Amino acid sequence: MLVEQNEIETTVVEPTDQDAPGKKARGFWRDLIETILMAVVLFLLLNAATSRVRVYNISMQPTLHEGNLLVVNKLAYKLGEPKHGDIIVFHYQGTVTEDYIKRVIGLPGDVVKISGGVVRVNGQVITEPYIAELPGYTGQWKVPEGEIFVLGDNRNHSSDSHDWGFVQQEWVVGKAIIIYWPLDRIRVLLSPSLVLASP
C-alpha cells in the first residue's frame, strides 16, 4: 500500500515538472511584452509633454551655447501663462520649420523701453545678471494682447523683438527647462524675477 502511494505521488509530480519550463517561457514573454508596452506608453507621454532641442547660434550666450541640448516643456503654457524671464522656444513668424529661442521680457500690456544700455518694463529697470553685455540700441514698444516681447541674452548679437517685433503666443512651442548636454553644463533653467525697481 505504501509503495502504491509513492507510485501515485510520483505520477502526480511528473507532469508538474514537465510543465514548468513552458510556464517559465510564457511568463518571460508576457513580462517582456508588458515592459515594451509600458516603455512605449511612457515614451509617448514624454513626447507629448516635452521636446528636445539643440541650440544652433550664439544669441542666448552666456546662458545657452551652441550645441547645448535642452528639454522644452510643451505643456507649460497650456497649463499656465508666460512669465518675465522665461526662456521660450517659438516658431519664428509662425513658421513651423524655423524655431527660435529667446527670453521673455515683455508680456501683453507691458511697455518695454531700452535706452542707455538699460531695459525698463513699465518704467522699472530690470536686473539682468545673465546678459553678455548691455544693449547698444534704443527703442520703445507697447506689447499687444496675445503677444510677447523677447530678447536674446547676447543682446547685441541677437535677432529678436527689437528687430522684427512681437511673438504671438500661439507660436510658442514651450518653455526651456533643462540643459542636459553637455554633461558639465547640466542644470535647470530658472526664470529670474526680472522686473525689480532700481533706486
Cβ atoms within 10 A of the Cβ of 49, count?
Answer: 15
Of 57, 56, 30, 51, which is closest to residue 174 (Cα–Cα)? 51
Of these residues, 24, 78, 83, 102, which one is catalytic?
102
59 is a catalytic site residue: yes
Of these residues, 51, 59, 115, 175, which one is catalytic?
59
Give yes or no for a cis peptide into 135 (omega within 30° of 0). Answer: no
Matching residue, cell 513552458: 22
Cβ(109)–Cβ(73) below 8 Å: no
- The secondary structure of 63-99 as a DSSP string is TS-TT-EEEEETTHHHHS---TT-EEEEEGGG-TT-E
| Residues with Cβ within 8 Å of residue 108, at least 6 apart in sequence | 143, 144, 145, 146, 147, 148
Catalytic residues: 59, 102
